[in-house]
Structure 1
Amino acid sequence: MKIKVLIADDNSFIREGMRIILNSFEEFEVLATVEDGREAVEFCQANEVDVALLDVRMPNMNGVEATRLLTETTKTKPLILTTFDDDEYITDAIRFGAKGYLLKNNDPERIRDAIRSIHHGHNVLQNVILDKLKLNLGDHTPGVVEPPIDVSLFTERELEVMSGIAKGLSNKEISRELFISEGTVANYITSLLNKTGLEHRTQIAIYYLTGRIR
C-alpha cells in the first residue's frame, strides 16, 4: 500500500519539483498539489491523505493554520516543509499538531525518510530547528540548556530524559547516556506525557526548550 501524499506550496516550481521527486520513490503516491493551506484542508477533508507536506507562508491560509484544521478535522498527518525556521512558526506548528518540521534544502532521501517515519507514527524535528531554539534561549553551548519550565514538577530523572529528547536523542541513546533500559526510558516518557498533557516526544522537546505547552 502506497503512502498517499499531498503537496501544498504557493511556488509552482517547488510543487512540481517535489511531486517529481516523491513520485520517483515507489512507496509514494502524490494525490495532488495545491497552492495554499485552504486548498490543502479542503482536499484532505474530501480524500484520504496520509501525509500533507505544507509550506508555512502561503496565501489565503498559511501552513500553521492548515495544520490546526487538518489535525482537528482529518486523519492526515501534517509535515511542515519550508525555507523558514522562525521560532513562532516552529512552536505553533508543533502545538497545532504538526508531526514534523523540515527545511526544504534537505536531500530527497531525508524528506522521503521523514514522510515514511511520520506515516508510521513517529515525529520528526530537524536538529537545526532544535539548535536554533536553544540559541534563542541563550544557550551557546551544544547540549546545555537551562529549561524555562517549573522543574519542581518533575523528578531529576524525568528532567534528564526530557533533556535527552530536546537534544534529539532516541530512546536507545538516552538509555545509554543514563544507564537505564529503553523500557524505562519509555516509561518516563509516558509519565512526562501524562504530567504535561502533551501528545508526543516532539512536543516534549518544544516544551523543555520554550516552556510552552499550548
Structure 2
Amino acid sequence: MLLVDDQQLVRSGFRLILSVEDDVEVVGEAPDGAAAVEAARALRPDVVLMDVQMPVMDGIEATRRIAAEDLAKVLVLTTFDRDDYVFDALSAGASGFLLKNSDAEHLVEAVRTVAAGHALLAPQVTRRVIAQMVAAGAAPAGGPAAEPVAQRSAPSSPASSPTPPAGDPRLALLTPRETEVLELVGEGLSNAEIAQRLFLGEATVKTHVSNLLAKLQLRDRVQAVVLAHRCGLVGPTA
C-alpha cells in the first residue's frame, strides 16, 4: 500500500503499525497529492491511505485522479468535524474513509476491507453527511442539484412500490424492491438495518445490493450512496 500524508511523523507511524502485519506491505510514501498520483502510477499499490489537507494537491483531487485511472483503491483519512471532506472524497471515487482518531486495530482492518474490494462506509458518519447535505439543500460534489422525492414521509412498507426517481436513466433497470434498497443504502443503512426495515433476510438484502450495483455499473456501496443523492432518491424525511 501507499501512505500519503504531508507529515513525515504521521507516515512513519502508519508504516510502523502496518508493516508488522504479515498480509500488508507498504510499498511507498508520498508527502502530497501530486506525488501520490505519480507514486500510484509507478508502484500500482492495492490501497492508498490518503490524507486530505496537503500542499501542492489536496487528497480529494489526488483521489479523483487515482480513481479515474483505476490505479488503486483509496482509503481517505478524515475527521468528524469535516463532514464535507467525507462526501467530497466519496464523490471523487474513494472506496471509503477512516477517522483519524481510529486505533491501530481499526486502521489495519480498514486497509484489509478496502483491499478486498469492499466499501468502508461507517453509517454514523454517513448519516451526518446526509443530514448536512439535506439541510443545505446542496448536491454532492460534481453532481446536479438533487430533485425532490415527492411525499416521502415514512418508510415504505414491504408491499409498496416506490416511485421511480428521475435523474439517471439507469434507475429504470431496477426492480421496485431494488429501488427501495438503493434508497436505504443512500440513507447510510447497513444490510442488517435494511433487512429490519423491509422485513427481509440479511442474505436477501445482500443479493439485492449486489444486483443493483451490477445493473447500475457501480463499483461499490460508496458509489451507490453518491448516486442515490445525485438522482434525488434520498430526500428529507418529515
The TM-score normalised by the length of structure 1 is 0.78
Matched, 1:81 2:77: yes
Q: Where does the alignment leave 5 or more consecutive residues of structure 1 unmatched?
A: 139-146
**Post-superposition offset of 1:177:** 4.0
Question: In structure 1, what is the equivalent of residue 226 of structure 2?
Answer: 206
**Comparing both structures, which one devotes a greater share of its residues to strand?**
1
C-alpha distance in 2 between matches for 1:180 and 1:84: 32
> CA RMSD for the aligned pairs?
2.9
Return 5+ residue gaps in structure 2 as ranges: 136-145, 150-161, 166-174, 234-238
Between 66-75 and 86-95, the greater mean CA deviation after superposition? 86-95
Tell me, in whole angstroms, the C-alpha distance in 2 between the residues paired with 1:95 and 1:47. 24
**1:183-208 deviation digits (Å, cap 9, x = unpaired):** 54245335544675543222222344
The residue correspondences of 1:22-171 to structure 2 (distance < 5 A) are 22-83=18-79, 86-136=82-132, 137-138=134-135, 150=149, 152-153=163-164, 157-165=177-185, 166-170=187-191
Assess, with a 3 A threshold, how the Cα gap between structure 1 residues 167 and 72 changes in structure 2: closer, same or farther: closer
Instruction: Provide the secondary structure at the position in 2 that maps to 1:7.
Output: strand
**CA deviation vs aligned residue, 1:140-176 (integer Å, no higher than 9, x gap):** xxxxxxx965463256633542344233313x55335
Q: How far did 1:90 drift?
A: 2.2
Larger Rg: 2
- The whole-number CA distance in structure 1 between the counterparts of 2:54 and 2:113 is 25
Residues 1:28 and 1:194: Cα distance change in structure 2 (over 3 Å): closer
Q: Partners of 2:229 and 2:130 in 1: how far apart? A: 7
State the SS of the aligned residue for 2:102: coil
**1:153 aligned partner, one-letter code:** P
